[in-house]
A = this chain, B = another copy of it.
């Protein structure tokens, strides 16, 4: 068993001071939106997956490493969205951290968000947690520290980006129906959209290919299948859905 001083020394030696990374990992599957959260050992304290930056590690690699440690997956859509830098944001309350000087310094946290199909993920707790799990957005526990603010900022960013960036490539199957794609938007926005307006607007962006096949089976008229037009999709990621000037 390491002494407190040895433990402090361990963190100090490996990681940069003052800098942390927090990840808001949104999980979507068939009309459900969840967020990945950890529960502390022996207490009802929930927080977002996060970690620190190794002395010689690029920050993007740190974010990917942290995400992989918690989810088992890499090459995920993972993006910086905001830096959280209030001086009093990082007062740890967890008993484990309380007497550790590394954890008791001020941390400026770089927020990343990711969007994954939660069926692909096997959540894994870290050393301070007994549980790493998907929580429904309409059944969230109380968050530790400023993690609710970080989560809300990520959700606001994701919703705003729906207005000018394409979404869904990593979340939808290769072929999908218009109602399935609409469901993704409705789930993220947490509201119903008008079917005809949605179809008109999304088709107007030119990011979909209408396929020859229809979805077989079911009592109703077979719905058309679509796939993403990747060339246009990537251009829209770069220039915005309405194109450039």
| B-binding residues in A (CB < 8 A) | 16-19, 53, 55-60, 62, 80, 82-83, 85-87, 106, 108, 110, 160, 162-164, 185, 189, 193, 198, 201, 238-245
State the copy count for this chain: 2
Chain B residue nearest to A185 in the complex (CB): B245
Contact B164 A164 (CB under 8 A): yes
Contact A106 B16 (CB under 8 A): yes
Chain B residues whose C-beta falls within 8 Å of the C-beta of A189 in the assembled complex: 244-245
Q: Indicate the member of A55, A58, A163, A243 with the most B CB atoms within 10 Å.
A: A163
A243/B59 contact (C-beta < 8 A), A16-B106, A83-B83, A106-B16 known: no
Contact B85 A60 (CB under 8 A): yes
**New contact pairs (18) apart from A60-B85, A160-B240, CB-CB < 8 Å:** A18-B18, A53-B85, A56-B106, A57-B87, A59-B85, A59-B108, A62-B85, A83-B83, A162-B245, A163-B242, A163-B244, A163-B245, A164-B240, A164-B241, A164-B242, A189-B244, A189-B245, A198-B245
A and B contact pairs by CB, cutoff 8 A, 23 listed: A16-B108, A17-B17, A18-B18, A18-B19, A19-B108, A53-B85, A57-B87, A58-B85, A58-B87, A59-B85, A59-B86, A60-B85, A62-B85, A80-B82, A83-B110, A108-B110, A160-B240, A163-B240, A163-B242, A163-B243, A164-B240, A164-B241, A198-B245
How far, in whole Å, are A58 and B86 apart by their CA atoms in the complex? 5
- Counting from the closest, the 6 A-B pairs by CB-CB distance are A59-B85, A163-B240, A164-B164, A56-B87, A164-B240, A16-B18
Whole-angstrom distance between the Cβ of A232 and the nearest chain B Cβ:
15
How far, in whole Å, are A158 and B189 apart by their CA atoms in the complex? 26
Among B18, B80, B162, the residue within 8 A (CB) of A83 is B80
How far, in whole Å, are A80 and B198 apart by their CA atoms in the complex? 32
